[in-house]
Structure 1
Amino acid sequence: MYKRLSAFIITSILLNTSLTLAATPKDPNQADKFPPSPLEITTPDPLVRADANKQPLTLSEQLALKAALDNLNQQAAATLQAGDKVTAWEIWNRELRLRRYLGTLAEVQALSRVGEIAWNQNDRQEIEYITQRLRAIQKQELSPKKTAQKPVDFPVLQALGEAYQNVRSLPDALTIYHQILAIVRQQNDVAAEVATLTTIGELHLGWFDYPQAAATYQELLSLATARGDVASELTYTQQLAYIYQQDKQIQQAIDKLNQLVEIYTSQSNLTQVPQLKLAIASNYESLAQENPNLLQEAFNNYQQAYTMAWEAQQFVTAGEALQKLISLYRSQGQIDAALQTSQILVETQAKASNYYGLMQAYDQIGQIYLAQKNYPQAVSAFQRGLQLAQQLKHEEAYFTQQIQKASGQ
């Protein structure tokens, strides 16, 4: 379900360029002789009787044709696997031309299946042929004249939406799913509304359209809240926090993260809260670059993250929170506080058996003492770091150099 906008843009550019070049014959007078889409060829086919367009196939004829077309699909797949792409697409295009005799739904489902193969094979021309045919079907199905006579064929709409996804045509897919959304809302089908909104949200999110994704998931959150679906509320709030974070909407991300803290706290599920507090603090730290008054919020949340993580024996998370606090203290010139917090970090990393982190903590303490010109304490910290470095067989030369630097002062 999840797609990639960059891939879509690149494919579209290459596709449009390729088709423009291909559709421009060297001789302008021969422009009308450019071969049509293979899906629109009207040459009679021995699998279908000649008057099938005037007289629909009987049930037995449809069953026989379906079996024959299923066989063509298998032949095409085997031919492609054998390395003969040209013949494989000829077979598939023949199958697709004839599928329309089995009805619109059968044709769209076949176009969807083959379209996905074309995408995976990076066959841009075949993708364009299939997309053109899907649009023609869409125009036919949603024409005012047809819809005035009878309701839209819902299964066909659903199949069109999936087919457009398979050929990575985002605008077309969204058009279809919004049509579906309008229908299910008229029918007061809440389950179908949620399913359709979820698909729309995933499409926007998968193609990195964060503002539209946020709007869609906010709708889903409102629906979940209205029906008291706590599990879905949690899911959609998590998704919105992620979306706002990705879209650099920092304050909105903080709001959703705080909502998550409230939800988990109300459920007495505090194990998730320290990481959320870390994320909140990090966001406040980002905002504080423009509004220094928010720096205290960053401090507060890092401290809460550490406290809660320590109580939950999540020592790795506790160490991460302490490291962030130390960096903040040093950036604000609060060296004593940074040093005291570094000593706590040593204890925390030891509890976590994080020897690499412990080595870094001693390095940090050494650097602080070095900045204070407290050389004996700096040497002591670097020596402890060297002992760990020797055990880890990592950064031994660095710590040796730092000891020499501190000793030479």
Structure 2
Amino acid sequence: MTDSNEPTQPDLEQLDEREMAEAIGAAARIILAPGPKEAREAPAEAPAPDDTWALPGGTAWVYLADPKKGLTRPVIIGDGFSSGPSDLDFSWQIMERGPYAFISALRGRGYDVVLVGYDERSASILENAEVVRAAILEATARRTGDHPLTVGGFSMGGLVTRYALAKMEHDGGPENDHQTALYFSYDSPHRGAWIPIALQAFAHYIRSLNAAFSNQMNSPAARQLLWQHISEWRDSPETDKERGTFLAELERVGGWPSRPRKIGVANGVRIGESNGIRPGEQAFHGKGIAITGTRLYTQPAGEDELVAQLRVVTLRRPHVNTSGLPEIDGAPGGTLEGFGILADELNKVPALIGLRSEADIREHCFVPTVSAIALRDIDTHEKLYEPVTEAAAKDSELDEFRCASQNEGHTLVTEELCTWILDRLP
């Protein structure tokens, strides 16, 4: 990282940072989350569940296929990554009101849906796995009959449930009998997720004005999920020690549960086709007086490559450079509107504050295909973009997987992927 200093201008320096921070806090909520804007910002209210389980560290919302029969064929679905407590309305919006009504399809086939939420979605995966374990034990205790469970999750939820099941098998004993026949993951980052270094740097650079974005990027879950992470805007990208600890713990309990069949889907293609985002392109720029000069770029390969120029209030414009990273923003995989969310939220702040912004490119790859199907690491261009051939597919850690026919939004719930899962339920 390099820092170029320029003289400051009194009129800009005299902007009241306290007032600016209050304006941002009142109008904007810079939190990266999947889904369309209506889901992220104002999800329609979910119908009342048939039952609600209070769990240590979380909640389970239960929707029965037939309330007269009670819980008979449970499908437990773990929530994904964001900030704050899990939101039933948001989960329902994503899974039921998008391109495909997944919850209705499950119930229509006679399965009971158990949506597992956490008190804090950005807490450690290891902590939230205890919420899933409690939900599994609650389901087996309440179930009528002996139909085996299906357990899985969307995005980070696939890692939370993977670890929970593996740890239950490792610990053993009747108190850890998960009775699960099928595990599934939906665009889960088994080999790591990606948030552009430019976005992470901006999050930390504006921490004094609004800490929420930085706090999300520095949360335990983010440190465990992200392949490359920075804690401060000046830092050089690296694999955070929290991720190393999580991976070591996952390996300690066996890496994967051995009893259930393991399947997964990816919101990216298997043919190696880019999502069309080119490296080194301007993805975001400031337009208001307080942020003009801020420019964020998509990730280029090479040495000492510029990924961000940062400016908020003062005329100092430090540069953020990276070396040795692949062109990952355009890689095949599930996308996230990281740059778009940032611009949308800043544009909610009154114009007189001077933070008007524009996303030239709204999205970036968040979970590469090869990560979602647990096939390869994501540290080189070749690993990211090489097509998944039938021969290569045998190296996946999943028993079976399905990739989308086009690169699409991360955790987009489609008929193509959901019916593939439905056809494999026990």
Q: TM-score normalised by the shorter chain: which range applies?
A: under 0.3
Q: What TM-score, normalized by structure 1, do the two folds share? A: 0.19
- Return the structure number with greater relative CO, CA threshold 8 A, min gap 6: 2
Q: What TM-score, normalized by structure 2, do the two folds share? A: 0.18
**Greater helix fraction, Structure 1 or Structure 2:** 1
